[in-house]
Amino acid sequence: MTEAELKKHLEAAEKSPKQIAAAVSGLPEETLRYKPPGKWCILEILGHLADMEIMYAYRMRQILADKKPVIAPIDQNEWANHLGYIEAPPAEQVALYGLNRHNTLRLLRRLKPGDLEKGAYHPERKRDVTLAEMVEMMAGHGPNHLEQIERLKKEAGKK
């Protein structure tokens, strides 16, 4: 990953929490809880974003500081089902997402040469994943869920 690509990913990653916050601001409870069969509602997406930001931060720290790290796999659907996402206040989840993202970006802005090439074994992918790949995944995570939130808002408005 070039310096320009890293900068682009970090800028995109910095925007996501604000975009998510704007997308869910003032939504009525029925829209936040609207849940198509087999999908997540907006409240679950917000919980997922907050928790995954913690996971990204932890995984990146493993890559930077540990010798031969192995990334702990997670079952995101089980997390959504058992960790109270649906009961958590949306503003709190958005704030946690934003604060954790801010902290991760602070870490990434002080990388040393060669850090982006460091990696960890990712059991779900059955291969090593570099920090550069993890940065790219993190940068795309918010926009992906922003699209999902916008779709849910439209669907909820049509019911």
Cα distances from 71 to residues 65, 74, 80, 95, 156, in angstroms, run 13, 9, 20, 25, 36
pLDDT tens sequence across 9-64: 999 999 999 999 999 999 999 999 999 999 999 999 999 999 999 999 999 999 99
**Angle between helix 90-108 and helix 42-65 axes, rounded to 10 deg:** 20
pLDDT of residue 89: 93
pLDDT tens sequence across 69-109: 999 888 988 998 888 889 999 999 999 999 999 999 999 99
Contact 59, 131 (CB under 8 A): no
Span 125-152, average pLDDT: 95
pTM of the model: 0.92
**In the structure, what pLDDT confidence band is assigned to residue 1 with cuts at 50, 70 and 90?**
confident
Top-level CATH class of 3-158? Answer: mainly alpha
How do the domains of the chain map onto residue ranges?
3-158
pLDDT tens sequence across 9-20: 999 999 999 999
**In the structure, what pLDDT confidence band is assigned to residue 2 with cuts at 50, 70 and 90?**
confident
